[in-house]
Protein backbone atom coordinates (compact mmCIF):
# COMPACT_ATOMS: atom_id res chain seq x y z
CA UNK A 1 0.00 0.00 0.00
CA UNK A 2 1.34 3.40 -0.97
CA UNK A 3 1.74 6.09 1.66
CA UNK A 4 1.66 8.95 -0.88
CA UNK A 5 -1.04 10.04 -3.23
CA UNK A 6 -3.01 12.80 -4.89
CA UNK A 7 -6.77 13.18 -4.83
CA UNK A 8 -8.93 15.93 -6.29
CA UNK A 9 -12.44 17.23 -6.76
CA UNK A 10 -13.72 19.51 -9.51
CA UNK A 11 -17.08 21.24 -9.66
CA UNK A 12 -18.60 23.59 -12.21
CA UNK A 13 -19.41 27.03 -10.81
CA UNK A 14 -21.38 30.07 -11.92
CA UNK A 15 -18.88 32.79 -11.01
CA UNK A 16 -15.94 33.51 -13.29
CA UNK A 17 -12.44 32.13 -12.76
CA UNK A 18 -11.24 35.72 -12.22
CA UNK A 19 -13.75 36.31 -9.40
CA UNK A 20 -12.84 33.03 -7.73
CA UNK A 21 -9.14 33.74 -7.95
CA UNK A 22 -9.73 37.24 -6.56
CA UNK A 23 -11.61 35.85 -3.54
CA UNK A 24 -8.83 33.43 -2.65
CA UNK A 25 -5.95 35.85 -3.29
CA UNK A 26 -7.45 39.06 -1.88
CA UNK A 27 -10.38 38.13 0.38
CA UNK A 28 -9.53 34.72 1.82
CA UNK A 29 -10.59 35.83 5.29
CA UNK A 30 -14.21 36.19 4.02
CA UNK A 31 -14.54 32.45 3.36
CA UNK A 32 -15.23 31.85 7.05
CA UNK A 33 -18.33 34.07 6.79
CA UNK A 34 -19.92 32.32 3.80
CA UNK A 35 -18.86 28.65 3.98
CA UNK A 36 -21.11 26.71 6.35
CA UNK A 37 -18.52 24.11 7.31
CA UNK A 38 -15.87 26.75 8.06
CA UNK A 39 -16.47 28.08 11.57
CA UNK A 40 -13.66 30.55 11.91
CA UNK A 41 -10.28 31.70 10.76
CA UNK A 42 -7.70 34.07 12.14
CA UNK A 43 -4.14 35.12 11.52
CA UNK A 44 -1.88 32.97 13.65
CA UNK A 45 1.35 34.64 12.49
CA UNK A 46 1.97 37.60 10.21
CA UNK A 47 0.15 40.80 9.33
CA UNK A 48 -1.50 39.93 6.00
CA UNK A 49 -3.76 37.04 4.99
CA UNK A 50 -2.29 36.84 1.51
CA UNK A 51 1.48 36.68 1.96
CA UNK A 52 3.55 33.52 1.90
CA UNK A 53 4.97 34.10 5.38
CA UNK A 54 1.60 34.44 7.14
CA UNK A 55 0.05 31.49 8.99
CA UNK A 56 -3.72 31.20 9.30
CA UNK A 57 -5.59 29.13 11.90
CA UNK A 58 -8.78 27.54 10.53
CA UNK A 59 -11.66 25.87 12.40
CA UNK A 60 -13.96 23.68 10.31
CA UNK A 61 -16.13 20.55 10.25
CA UNK A 62 -14.44 17.40 8.99
CA UNK A 63 -16.12 13.99 9.21
CA UNK A 64 -18.78 15.51 11.47
CA UNK A 65 -16.25 16.83 14.00
CA UNK A 66 -15.04 20.37 14.59
CA UNK A 67 -11.28 20.44 14.01
CA UNK A 68 -8.54 22.98 13.37
CA UNK A 69 -5.39 23.27 11.32
CA UNK A 70 -2.83 25.84 10.25
CA UNK A 71 -2.34 26.99 6.68
CA UNK A 72 0.21 28.92 4.69
CA UNK A 73 0.40 29.97 1.05
CA UNK A 74 3.31 28.35 -0.80
CA UNK A 75 2.79 29.92 -4.22
CA UNK A 76 0.40 31.90 -6.40
CA UNK A 77 0.33 31.69 -10.21
CA UNK A 78 -1.82 34.50 -11.58
CA UNK A 79 -1.53 33.28 -15.18
CA UNK A 80 -2.87 29.81 -14.35
CA UNK A 81 -5.13 31.07 -11.53
CA UNK A 82 -3.57 28.53 -9.19
CA UNK A 83 -2.74 28.78 -5.50
CA UNK A 84 -0.76 26.20 -3.53
CA UNK A 85 -1.44 26.04 0.21
CA UNK A 86 0.21 23.97 2.91
CA UNK A 87 -2.02 22.53 5.68
CA UNK A 88 -0.44 21.34 8.92
CA UNK A 89 -0.94 21.22 12.66
CA UNK A 90 -3.75 19.82 14.78
CA UNK A 91 -6.11 17.89 12.39
CA UNK A 92 -3.27 17.02 10.01
CA UNK A 93 -0.45 16.11 12.40
CA UNK A 94 -0.35 12.51 13.53
CA UNK A 95 -1.91 11.30 10.27
CA UNK A 96 -0.03 13.04 7.47
CA UNK A 97 3.00 15.07 6.68
CA UNK A 98 1.85 18.60 5.77
CA UNK A 99 -0.82 18.42 3.07
CA UNK A 100 -0.28 20.29 -0.17
CA UNK A 101 -3.62 21.81 -1.18
CA UNK A 102 -3.85 23.09 -4.75
CA UNK A 103 -6.65 25.46 -5.82
CA UNK A 104 -7.29 25.98 -9.54
CA UNK A 105 -9.90 28.25 -11.15
CA UNK A 106 -10.30 26.72 -14.61
CA UNK A 107 -11.85 28.46 -17.59
CA UNK A 108 -13.68 25.87 -19.68
CA UNK A 109 -14.97 26.05 -23.23
CA UNK A 110 -18.12 28.09 -23.71
CA UNK A 111 -17.27 30.56 -20.95
CA UNK A 112 -17.89 28.07 -18.16
CA UNK A 113 -15.72 27.86 -15.04
CA UNK A 114 -14.79 24.97 -12.79
CA UNK A 115 -12.97 24.92 -9.47
CA UNK A 116 -10.55 22.11 -8.76
CA UNK A 117 -9.08 21.34 -5.34
CA UNK A 118 -6.30 18.75 -5.28
CA UNK A 119 -4.56 17.35 -2.24
CA UNK A 120 -1.10 15.82 -2.36
CA UNK A 121 -0.47 13.82 0.78
CA UNK A 122 1.89 11.47 2.53
CA UNK A 123 0.39 9.29 5.25
CA UNK A 124 2.50 8.69 8.35
CA UNK A 125 1.23 5.11 8.71
CA UNK A 126 -0.43 2.51 6.50
CA UNK A 127 -3.59 2.41 8.65
CA UNK A 128 -4.38 6.08 7.85
CA UNK A 129 -6.93 6.63 5.07
CA UNK A 130 -6.36 9.16 2.28
CA UNK A 131 -7.76 12.60 3.25
CA UNK A 132 -11.06 12.19 1.36
CA UNK A 133 -12.96 14.14 4.02
CA UNK A 134 -11.11 17.26 2.88
CA UNK A 135 -12.52 16.82 -0.63
CA UNK A 136 -16.02 16.72 0.84
CA UNK A 137 -15.23 19.87 2.84
CA UNK A 138 -13.96 21.68 -0.27
CA UNK A 139 -17.03 20.62 -2.29
CA UNK A 140 -19.17 22.38 0.35
CA UNK A 141 -16.87 25.41 0.35
CA UNK A 142 -17.08 25.64 -3.46
CA UNK A 143 -20.89 25.57 -3.41
CA UNK A 144 -21.20 28.09 -0.57
CA UNK A 145 -18.65 30.56 -1.91
CA UNK A 146 -20.05 30.35 -5.44
CA UNK A 147 -23.57 31.06 -4.16
CA UNK A 148 -22.20 34.03 -2.22
CA UNK A 149 -20.40 35.45 -5.28
CA UNK A 150 -23.52 35.07 -7.45
CA UNK A 151 -25.74 36.67 -4.78
CA UNK A 152 -23.28 39.58 -4.36
CA UNK A 153 -23.32 40.13 -8.14
CA UNK A 154 -27.15 40.18 -8.15
CA UNK A 155 -27.24 42.69 -5.30
CA UNK A 156 -24.66 44.88 -7.03
CA UNK A 157 -26.83 45.17 -10.14
CA UNK A 158 -29.99 46.16 -8.23
CA distances from 8 to 23, 50, 137 (A): 20, 23, 12
pLDDT score, position 25: 93
CA separation for the pair 40, 106 (Å, rounded): 27
d(CA 94, CA 114) in angstroms, rounded, equals 33
Alpha-carbon distance of 83 to 108, in angstroms, equals: 18
Residue 72 vs residues 63, 114, 144: alpha-carbon distances, Å: 23, 23, 22
pTM of the model: 0.93
Rounded CA gap, 28 and 93, in Å? 23
Q: How many CB atoms lie within 10 A of CB 21?
A: 21
pLDDT at 1: 58
Q: What is the pLDDT of residue 20?
A: 95
Contact by Cβ (8 Å): 73, 83:
yes
H helices within the chain, ranges in order?
17-26, 31-34, 132-156
CB-CB neighbours of 51 under 10 Å: 11
Spans of all domains in the chain: 4-156
Task: Report the CATH fold assignment for 4-156.
Answer: Alpha-D-Glucose-1,6-Bisphosphate; Chain A, domain 4 (3.30.530)
For the chain, list residues with pLDDT below 50: none
Q: According to the model, what pLDDT value does residue 33 have?
A: 94
Distance CA 150, CA 31 (A): 14
Amino acid sequence: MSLTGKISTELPVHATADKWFHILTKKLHHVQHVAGKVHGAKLHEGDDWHTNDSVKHWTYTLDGKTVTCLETIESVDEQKKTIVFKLFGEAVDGKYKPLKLIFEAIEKDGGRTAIRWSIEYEKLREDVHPPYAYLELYDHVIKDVDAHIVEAEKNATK
